[in-house]
Structure 1
């Protein structure tokens, strides 16, 4: 395989292709940009020129440096023009047949040492290389949008990918200033697989009329610490794009209900309400202020919420308890006491749900208590696992499942989710912090409540929870023995 990658061919003049070409040119590579549409190539090159010129105007880049980068870029009119490429990065349409046909043609055109990569976000690398004579040189090289800004790159090995190719791609991405993580080819790879519950649980809450979209997004953003609420994020990504990835992962896992697409999202796509790019999606983007949907509340005062997470409070006769996956009504009936359940919170916003048996004054007592603690209070309908807790538990469960199946290392999983989608914590580190027994309990209660496989705990979660309980029991026994 080629040791020095001087010439980079990028196939696809869309947003991702143009972004990848720009990154490669910034590294001083000779970049060939190919698309079946010459207009798409012209548009991509013009877009790169405009972005670089904008940086010059803002004093972020010198005019000389801009010109150097632009000199590295050249259009390719035919696939045959890519014959001298050391590395091909395909960023064409997300259709398996198109990608298979492209690489079959490239195998004839390019030299034996040329590395082949696909920027696919969810299609199997193994399947893309199925008809190649030498699938060993094919791997995934999944950049995140916008490619010039986002540091994460998933380097994906298909079943035939040569390990030396993976190593070379990792080293090359490091030289490009990126943060590479490696994984096996699986539907959604790391990020698009583990992130599915972030969207799915929000859509379910919206469908179940738990709270309006703005409240759901505020809860995940301000209490959960996520950079943007899931519903607003799907509007920004594009409802059609996000829905297509969900469907791809769902079918890739043989219709596993963990990845079940949302009928509400399908309705938006069918109506052409694709989000910000069409003007309307979950939100009306002609009226909404985007900054109001993307301002995560930084953790400030965690003491009270953390203490609550370890037990419960009595507030004027009202039982206030951190959610463990059961509804407030269930707890109120069991303990014969007015109950308010509180969601997981990393910041100064608290999400609460009152039992259906509470009086208005009971619930107001809890609201008043948190407001006196300096908290913003969001009230939602009584809902098992609330909004943040069930979402985080599902993300952690999916990360553990990927780890157990050898998709990626624990370190790469956490790096990918922090870097690729800006999660406040890596899911595995988050699970250890919350406590594996608590995560397991939340999911078991959800599975019992719904009677669905969607919430089934991963075997590795059960093992970790069991070992955590054993460690606690062993420590307690040792302490008791030391005082005898």
Structure 2
């Protein structure tokens, strides 16, 4: 799905002859909120004359002043030359009427997320602009195909989904509707690239790439919370300090706005005809109904009033580490633990087996696999969660059954504390926190690629740049092992037989490919 281009200097010409819009041509932005102003700034600094229009009288003029002030701040910070600022401001104009956009080469819409309003706007624009004008919507949740459905020339209509704040975040999703012509999508792609952005191509699917694939990051955390296995602060800490994510899902949705995040989740779920993989959270719905929207309301999952104490994650008290452990078989993505234990002064014995750590008191440590500790009636099992990088992780999460002895739990806690890690103990929930989240992200990513939504490269790029994931979900899946993730989801599916965790054919195929590759390598 990546554009076939030949790069010459700063310009690129695709196989179908569509290159970026010439900087001498005007770009128009309709809608002057935060996103509209940000897009205008990006186009302006790429050298275009820019015209701003808003349906509310006076808003366009206010936006011109606001964008100029943004440029002033860049000059103050040394990020923009004063002469460049002056030249950019001279190219920026308010357009009181839509008719003033007639000669624009590109019109980007960034107005309210209501289908009929967007359709009406583009119907008006089509009567004003030239036949070669590229029309683009910045929608994050509506169908590009539906917005263009009533146009005479829907082939020149495309989605250009910027991420907020547009001047800072590099990702732009270039979305092709059902009728979008390849040359139009390529021109939008190359224009975004010429503006210094990192564009990715995708089909017109609910949520596009990022908002489609990111749902499990929030949903699995909410499920763990709803099952009473851990509190929001501990879940956030696990995903940050073990999973490597920049923010936990509870603090992130408080920042986004619980109402906004819940609305996107509900929109994607309904657009997929209530597919159980995208089912919204009742706990989040109740939070929204209570008016606890997050930072903007002063209370969400966490309090934000001045002086309010932030809840701390559960952290186990210091415990004594065992003098020796025995590692049976291959620990897969956790195999580096053997070396880390030895470096910490714990004696490590190695034996053949099914991939677990035997503690000196007889208990076992196993990497989260979708099963639960209470199912083992003849031995004590303590599960530990997946980590992006066990050496760098600042926290390790354990889960145990209620009947697990204090001695076994203390050994497990002390073992990881000996590595300099903080340890959180959560309830006996299958798949734990990081492991089930990564498995579901990988599952949706593989499914999207196999359905032609986007290329594997563009999916990973979009998730790294659009939501700051520490690794692309497909990259992470390859590291953990597709077969391992398929088996983990299969165990979850057995315990939650709703279809939510049934592994997609895309992930299953990759698991079989791994098996074939391993078999050929062992010959």
Q: TM-score, normalised by structure 2?
A: 0.85
The corresponding residue for 1:321 is: 366
SS of the equivalent of 1:101 reads helix
1:387 has 2:433 as partner: yes
Post-superposition CA distance 1:386-430 (Å, at most 9, x none): 000000000000000001101111111111111111111111111
1:66 has 2:85 as partner: yes
1:426 has 2:426 as partner: no
SS of the equivalent of 1:197 reads helix
SS of the equivalent of 1:180 reads strand
CA drift at 1:322: 0.3
Compared with structure 1, are the counterparts of its residues 85 and 12 closer, same or farther at alpha carbon in structure 2 (3 Å cutoff)? same
Tell me how far apart the structure 1 counterparts of residues 155 and 335 of structure 2 sit (CA, whole Å).
50
Among 362, 365, 371, the residue aligned to 2:408? 362
Stretches of structure 2 that go unaligned for 5 or more consecutive residues are: 1-17, 314-333, 342-352
1:25 has 2:44 as partner: yes
Tell me how far apart the structure 2 counterparts of residues 34 and 124 of structure 1 sit (CA, whole Å).
23
CA drift at 1:202: 1.2
Moved more, 116-125 or 202-211: 202-211
> Pairwise mapping of residues 44-123 of structure 1 onto structure 2 (< 5 A)?
44-123=63-142
Moved more, 148-157 or 197-206: 197-206
The answer to whether the 8 A contact 1:15-1:44 is kept is no
The answer to whether the 8 A contact 1:103-1:132 is kept is yes
The answer to whether the 8 A contact 1:20-1:147 is kept is yes
Compared with structure 1, are the counterparts of its residues 310 and 38 closer, same or farther at alpha carbon in structure 2 (3 Å cutoff)? farther
The corresponding residue for 2:346 is: none
Tell me how far apart the structure 1 counterparts of residues 406 and 66 of structure 2 sit (CA, whole Å).
57
Tell me which protein shows more helix as a share of its residues.
1
CA drift at 1:289: 8.8
Among 382, 385, 397, the residue aligned to 1:343? 385
CA drift at 1:102: 0.8
SS of the equivalent of 1:399 reads helix
The answer to whether the 8 A contact 2:254-2:294 is kept is yes
The answer to whether the 8 A contact 2:172-2:200 is kept is yes
Among 483, 493, 512, the residue aligned to 1:437? 483
Compared with structure 1, are the counterparts of its residues 468 and 386 closer, same or farther at alpha carbon in structure 2 (3 Å cutoff)? same
CA drift at 1:456: 1.1
The corresponding residue for 1:214 is: 233
Q: TM-score, normalised by structure 1?
A: 0.92
SS of the equivalent of 1:462 reads helix
SS of the equivalent of 2:500 reads helix
CA drift at 1:13: 1.1
The corresponding residue for 1:41 is: 60
SS of the equivalent of 1:38 reads coil
Tell me how far apart the structure 2 counterparts of residues 218 and 339 of structure 1 sit (CA, whole Å).
23
The corresponding residue for 1:409 is: 455
Tell me how far apart the structure 2 counterparts of residues 185 and 204 of structure 1 sit (CA, whole Å).
28
The answer to whether the 8 A contact 2:277-2:499 is kept is yes
Tell me how far apart the structure 2 counterparts of residues 114 and 451 of structure 1 sit (CA, whole Å).
50
CA drift at 1:306: 9.0
CA drift at 1:53: 2.3
The answer to whether the 8 A contact 2:71-2:85 is kept is yes
Compared with structure 1, are the counterparts of its residues 475 and 3 closer, same or farther at alpha carbon in structure 2 (3 Å cutoff)? closer
1:303 has 2:347 as partner: no
Among 442, 446, 462, the residue aligned to 2:492? 446
The corresponding residue for 1:251 is: 270
Tell me how far apart the structure 2 counterparts of residues 68 and 310 of structure 1 sit (CA, whole Å).
67
SS of the equivalent of 2:44 reads helix
Tell me how far apart the structure 1 counterparts of residues 107 and 335 of structure 2 sit (CA, whole Å).
48
SS of the equivalent of 2:374 reads helix
Moved more, 221-230 or 30-39: 30-39
Post-superposition CA distance 1:219-264 (Å, at most 9, x none): 1111000111111111111112111111111111111111111122
> Pairwise mapping of residues 270-309 of structure 1 onto structure 2 (< 5 A)?
270-286=289-305, 287=307, 303-304=336-337
Compared with structure 1, are the counterparts of its residues 315 and 42 closer, same or farther at alpha carbon in structure 2 (3 Å cutoff)? farther
Tell me how far apart the structure 2 counterparts of residues 10 and 289 of structure 1 sit (CA, whole Å).
42
Tell me how far apart the structure 2 counterparts of residues 270 and 41 of structure 1 sit (CA, whole Å).
34
The answer to whether the 8 A contact 1:315-1:369 is kept is no
The answer to whether the 8 A contact 2:340-2:419 is kept is no
CA drift at 1:43: 4.3
> Pairwise mapping of residues 220-259 of structure 1 onto structure 2 (< 5 A)?
220-259=239-278
Tell me how far apart the structure 1 counterparts of residues 228 and 68 of structure 2 sit (CA, whole Å).
46
SS of the equivalent of 2:247 reads coil
The answer to whether the 8 A contact 2:303-2:309 is kept is no
Post-superposition CA distance 1:188-220 (Å, at most 9, x none): 111110001111111112222221111111111
